Amino acid sequence: MTGNEARGATATGEKRIMILGTGGIAHRHAEHFTSIPGCRIVAACDVNAERARAFAQMHAIPEAFDSLERALEWGAFDAAVNSTPDGVHKATTLQLLAAGKAVFCEKPLAVNAEDAFEMVEAAEAAGVVNMVNLTYRNAHAIQMARRLIEAGEIGEVRHIEASYLQSWLSANHWGDWRTDERWLWRLSSAHGSKGVLGDIGIHIVDFVTFATGLDIAALQARLKTFDKAEGGALMGYTLDANDSCAMTVEMTNGALGVIHMSRTATGKANDLDLTIHGSKGAVKVWSNTTESTLQVCLGPDIETQTWQPYECPPTPRNADRFVIALLSGENGQPDFRRAAEVQTILDLCFVSDAEKRMLPVELPPAE
């Protein structure tokens, strides 16, 4: 446990958490962290003072602040959950790190890899716990798939098929995107969107690399924006952000793979699918926001291409791992560096699409 953490512990050893940014996702964070032993939420902070107070009252949080500066002046917290908008993750996180506070940041860590690695350097220099909420690490099936692959159950990874498919542009299961600004901004680069690649690409790339235990060594990407409204604009939003992305990848061990993500995958609500084929077996993972399943083709079943369901024990959520890290003083995963590495992949996809060629992936070494 670091000195900052030791000084911040309460008399009972609990870690005190502040939630920064009290929009939609913050309510889930409040529910999750309230249920975890070893911590308690002591403050809420939002630039909208009324919203901060209402959020604090709703979740029985004792303190509410209308600026991060005021919250830091108060200072009686050990860690912050950063659920602010993407564009201010960097500035707010750097302030927290400078004050010696641990940070659990929403994805993406930053809007580009350069900013993300600046945050990595600050976190590692501060010596505080730093994690990013890549939510599909919560899936029981992906954790078990990783363990099977690490144990050599499927042999050498040879081929990967992965997709993250949504259909909110072709179906109204989440509301009508044509009239709802919650969705319209995601279609407009002028409003900060990097399209489907920036929105869900981080999840499927992390899903692939975490499960296999391999990094992406090279990639080629193709992005597509579909016509969705007359003149390419609606309600003041220019609809120019990418709607679909197809990637071809080569992994560090030479395995080949395809990764696809789309918002126009009619018939799919919010589905992550991953099949990993090895030299002596294969695993197949499906996940959404609340459920996951694992199937395996192992042993004699590879001769008949028979897939069997595989039981997956419950796994801790990212929020649980963050609290464990706070209490132990040992950083958890996924950390800032991992999120920055994934952001490097996403940034390269834009370059690859523009240059229409495969690009090598070069990640800064961990110091």
Could you tell me which residues are beta bridge partners of residue 170?
Answer: none
How far apart (Å, rounded) are the C-alpha atoms in residues 272 and 291?
11
C-beta atoms surrounding 170 within 10 Å: 16
Structural domains in the chain, CATH included, are: 3-135 (3.40.50.720), 140-314+344-360 (3.30.360.10)
Encoding tokens for residue 183? Answer: 């969705």
**Strand, helix or coil for residue 312:** coil
Q: What is the pLDDT of residue 99?
A: 98
How far apart (Å, rounded) are the C-alpha atoms in residues 50 and 61?
14
User: How many residues comprise the chain?
Assistant: 367
Confidence of residue 8 (pLDDT cuts 50, 70, 90): very low
Confidence of residue 1 (pLDDT cuts 50, 70, 90): very low
Q: What is the pLDDT of residue 12?
A: 61
How far apart (Å, rounded) are the C-alpha atoms in residues 358 and 155?
27
Average pLDDT over residues 56-63: 97
- Average confidence score pLDDT of the chain: 94
Average pLDDT over residues 293-311: 98
Burial status of residue 96 (CB atoms within 10 A of its CB: 0-12, 13-18, 19 or more): buried
Please report the beta strands in 69-200, taking only residues with DSSP state E, as ranges in sequence order. 79-82, 102-106, 130-133, 157-166
DSSP sequence for 87-121: GGHHHHHHHHHHTT-EEEEESSSSSSHHHHHHHHH
pLDDT for 92 beyond 60 = yes
How far apart (Å, rounded) are the C-alpha atoms in residues 239 and 231?
9
pLDDT for 2 beyond 60 = no
Best mean pLDDT range from 1-5, 34-38, 360-364: 34-38
pLDDT in tens, 110-167: 999 999 999 999 999 999 999 999 999 999 999 999 999 999 999 999 999 999 999 9
How far apart (Å, rounded) are the C-alpha atoms in residues 367 and 361?
18
Encoding tokens for residue 11? Answer: 């008399």
Look at strands 237-238 and 292-298 and give their pairing.
Answer: unpaired
Return the DSSP state at 165.
Answer: E
pLDDT in tens, 191-222: 989 999 999 999 999 999 999 999 999 999 99
Instruction: Read off the pTM.
Output: 0.92
Look at strands 270-278 and 281-287 and give their pairing.
Answer: antiparallel
Question: Which of 159, 157, 23 lies closest to 82 in space, CA to CA?
Answer: 23
Confidence of residue 364 (pLDDT cuts 50, 70, 90): confident
Q: What is the pLDDT of residue 366?
A: 78
C-beta atoms surrounding 56 within 10 Å: 22
Return the DSSP state at 15.
Answer: E
Average pLDDT over residues 324-351: 97
Q: Percentages helix, strand, coil for the chain, rounded to the nearest 5?
A: 40, 25, 35
